[in-house]
Amino acid sequence: MPSIQCFGRYLPERVVTNAELAGTLGRDAEWIRQSSGIEERRVAGPDQTVVDLAVAAARDCLGRSSVSGVGVVIVASGSSERRFPGPAAEVAHALGFAGIFALDLPHASTGGLFGIALAAELAPVHGPVLIVAAEKIFQPAPAAAPEVAILFGDGAGACLIIPDNAGLRILDAALHSDGSNSESLYMDLTGPITMNGLAVIRNAGRRLPAVIQELLTKHAIAPGEVTAFLTHQANQNLIDRVARALNVPSGRFYSNIHRYGNTSSASILIAASEWGESATLQSGDIVCFAAFGAGFHWGALLTRQT
Amino acid sequence: MTRQEKIAEIVKRVSKKPAPPDPEESLFDSGYLDSFALTDMVTELEQEFGLTIPDADLSPRRFESIARIEQYVDSHAEPL
């Protein structure tokens, strides 16, 4: 049974606070915090690319791993600079894995989660799978609407899936997509992000708890039995709403959105990476991952500590 | 209970505020609704009036005040 061995992350150095952003948006810094839970976000340098961010996070992850090589590299990004090729082959090359199977996953928001689920299927055949999710997705005003500009930040996360039963064993995943809502959240190649925030909130608020419950029910696990929930960091109010819907204390949902904002596909891996450094799991502990985003795509993934 | 009174009750319930707002008052400016409370209110409107409110209709402008909400419900619900 494949397992998650370790995570990694990279956040650009430059911090943009709400106070700095408020000046360009004509909005109050406290309004930004109250409506999103975000206090600051990171912004990549003008010369940094999605590949650069991805490689830095991947190196951090590989530095924590025990493997000497990988069979597959999956790179998720909703903000890569080119229509093609995607960043996967270039990331694999930069890591010294030229010639291996590299796969692009152009999912914003859910790319990290879908990548883990896909890797769990690939690892038994191809060996260790490195998933990297990288986004250069900070949305400057005035091109972006204020409701969008406050949310997004740059960053990258990574995760290594091994075919062995050691670490966070992947039990199951439930993944869903519904293209009827594709106009509610999208970004053309030239940007900026266009978002019907109310449609996103309404759908995410319903579908995230539903897919988590779907997976837990299938495995006869009550929400209260889950040690930790690691979710896409979209909005703190949404995370709290999902916790309430599942009747689980908000504290079970790890959150770092106040420091990084919404880093789209990277957020769940960045959160998992930070969470993993302080988590003290016992054998048998359940950890549930979940994400919702553009597409709409949404899903959950269940793991158990070996 | 009139439609407007039913809407005011929903707004009170969703906003968790005791006094009903003036029908013309902005529910956002007066702090009765934010984006998350608005989606809760829309769900309650659907249940109360037998509506299906599509995502495309989810703009704050349509639900700006109790009077605007009543206009929306009047144009989409079965006649009284």
pLDDT tens string B3-50? 999 999 999 999 888 777 789 999 988 888 888 889 999 999 999 999
pTM of full prediction above 0.90: yes
Residue A165: per-residue pLDDT: 87
CA distances A234 to A109, A239, A242, B26, Å, are: 8, 8, 12, 27
Q: Three-class SS of residue B27?
A: coil
**Residue B38 near chain A (CB below 8 Å):** yes
A&B contacts, CB < 8 Å = 34
Q: Say which CATH architecture domain A3-162 belongs to.
A: 3-Layer(aba) Sandwich (3.40)
Residue A272: per-residue pLDDT: 98
**Residue A36 near chain B (CB below 8 Å):** no
State the fold for domain B3-76.
1.10.1200
**Residue A205 near chain B (CB below 8 Å):** yes
CA distances A303 to A219, A220, A290, Å, are: 11, 14, 11
Cross-chain Cβ contact A199/B59 below 8 Å:
no
Tally of helices (H runs) and strands (E runs) in chain B: 3, 0
Q: What ipTM score was computed for the predicted complex, to two decimals?
A: 0.80
Contact A187, A172 (CB under 8 A): no
Cross-chain Cβ contact A205/B42 below 8 Å:
no
Pick one of 1.10.10.10, 2.30.30.40, 3.40.50.300, 3.40.47.10 as the CATH number of A168-305.
3.40.47.10
| Cβ-based neighbour number of residue B25 at 10 Å | 15
Q: Three-class SS of residue B1?
A: coil
**Residue B39 near chain A (CB below 8 Å):** yes
Residue A122: per-residue pLDDT: 98
Which chain B residues are Cβ-neighbours of A241 within 8 angstroms? Answer: 36
**Residue A196 near chain B (CB below 8 Å):** yes
Residue B35: per-residue pLDDT: 86
| Partner residue facing A202 (CB), from B42, B59, B60 | B42
Is it true that the peptide bond before B20 is cis, omega within 30 degrees of 0? no
Q: Locate A284 and state its tokens.
A: 């048998």
CA distances A104 to A126, A209, A237, A294, B18, Å, are: 16, 28, 31, 17, 52
Cross-chain Cβ contact B55/A241 below 8 Å:
no
| CA distance linking residue A153 with residue A62, whole number of Å | 24
| CA distance linking residue A291 with residue A239, whole number of Å | 10
Which chain B residues are Cβ-neighbours of A202 within 8 angstroms? Answer: 39, 42-43, 55, 58
Contact A126, A160 (CB under 8 A): no
- Could you list the pLDDT tens digit for every one of the 306 residues in chain A? 899 999 999 999 999 999 999 988 888 999 899 889 999 999 999 999 999 999 999 999 999 999 999 999 999 999 999 999 999 999 999 999 989 999 999 999 999 999 999 999 999 999 999 999 999 999 998 899 998 999 999 999 999 999 998 899 999 999 999 999 899 999 998 889 999 999 999 999 999 999 999 999 999 999 999 999 999 999 999 999 999 999 999 999 999 999 999 999 999 999 999 999 999 999 999 999 999 999 999 999 999 999
Mutant choice from A30, A202, A207 vs B, greatest count of B C-beta within 10 A: A202
How do residues A191-239 score in pLDDT, each as one tens digit?
899 999 999 999 999 999 999 999 999 999 999 999 999 999 999 999 9
Q: Locate A56 and state its tokens.
A: 């830095």
Cross-chain Cβ contact A202/B34 below 8 Å:
no
Q: Where are the domains of chain A?
A: 3-162, 168-305
| CA distance linking residue B36 with residue B16, whole number of Å | 13
